[in-house]
Amino acid sequence: MDFEADRISWRGLALAVLSFIGITLALTVGIQLVGLERLQRTIVDAGPVAPLVYILLRASTFIAAPLSSGPIQFAAGILFGLWPGTIYSLIGEVIGGSANFWIARLLGRPVVARLIGPDGMARVEKFYRQVGEAWTLVYARLFLFAIYDFISYAAGFTPMKYRQYVLITVLVGIVPTFAAVAVGTTLTGDSGQLIALYAALGLLCVIPLLFYRRIRRLLKLDTTTTQNT
């Protein structure tokens, strides 16, 4: 049984990594072909349509898992700048995460399983046992941001109030979202540098998945300690 769980976990991790690499390469090639200045000018000329499209795209990466959202956040820094990119990304995350929360709460496990597949559902069930308390959701928002889509589904299965969920999602989410968008503002047109930087950040995004069991044991230990005190 443990072997099967490990195989499911690694399969999901492989899909996430491949998705991340694919979107990263597409983004890098697109910037090189179009040109950064021309791309930014197109965004400005598009007016409010461009932020709206980006927000909807960012939200869709939550709902249609497993889509890798890291390169999309970095692109926000390139296209919109630091603070606008952070705001647009955060709005998209709140919309997407809220949709996941309410899909789980109103429609239940069968619908969620159809959206994210058996591997994703197995991950959601693991998180379901951990995110019922506010402080564990805060921890997840900060350090498990790469898989917050699954965590949002899991939160919807718990008795947690939506007001509490969205407050944590917004306030705590500013930190990882700001950091990801800030990376995009530092990027240049050098494709080699872009790929190296994306690869390093992609590794950081999957580290929480690699050490999930250790993190879960730590959370359980902290919960036991809190109850005893």
pLDDT in tens, 78-93: 888 888 999 999 999 9
Which of 16-30, 174-188, 205-219 is the most confident on average? 174-188
Residue 200 predicted with pLDDT over 80:
no
- Looking at the domain assignment, is residue 94 inside a domain? yes
pTM above 0.75, yes or no: no
Closest-CA residue to 54 (of 99, 23, 102, 93): 93
- Looking at the domain assignment, is residue 141 inside a domain? yes
- Looking at the domain assignment, is residue 229 inside a domain? no
- Looking at the domain assignment, is residue 66 inside a domain? yes
Mean pLDDT score, 215-220:
53
- Looking at the domain assignment, is residue 31 inside a domain? yes
Q: Tell me what pLDDT residue 47 has.
A: 87
- Segments in the chain forming alpha helices (H): 2-34, 36-46, 49-63, 70-80, 82-102, 109-128, 134-143, 148-157, 162-171, 174-185, 191-210, 212-228
Torsion angle, CA of 52/201/19/139, rounded to 10 degrees? -80
Taking a C-beta distance cutoff of 8 angstroms, is the pair 112, 99 a contact? Answer: no
What domain range includes position 89? 2-224
Residue 192 predicted with pLDDT over 80:
no
Q: Tell me what pLDDT residue 6 has.
A: 44
Q: Label residues 73-107 b or e (16+ Cβ within 10 Å = b).
A: bbbbbbbbeeeebbbbbbbbbbbbbbbbbebbbee
- Looking at the domain assignment, is residue 77 inside a domain? yes
Which carries the bigger pLDDT value, residue 10 or residue 127? 127
Look at the chain and report how many structural domains it folds into. Answer: 1
Q: Which residue has the tokens 């399969």?
A: 11
Q: Tell me what pLDDT residue 5 has.
A: 41
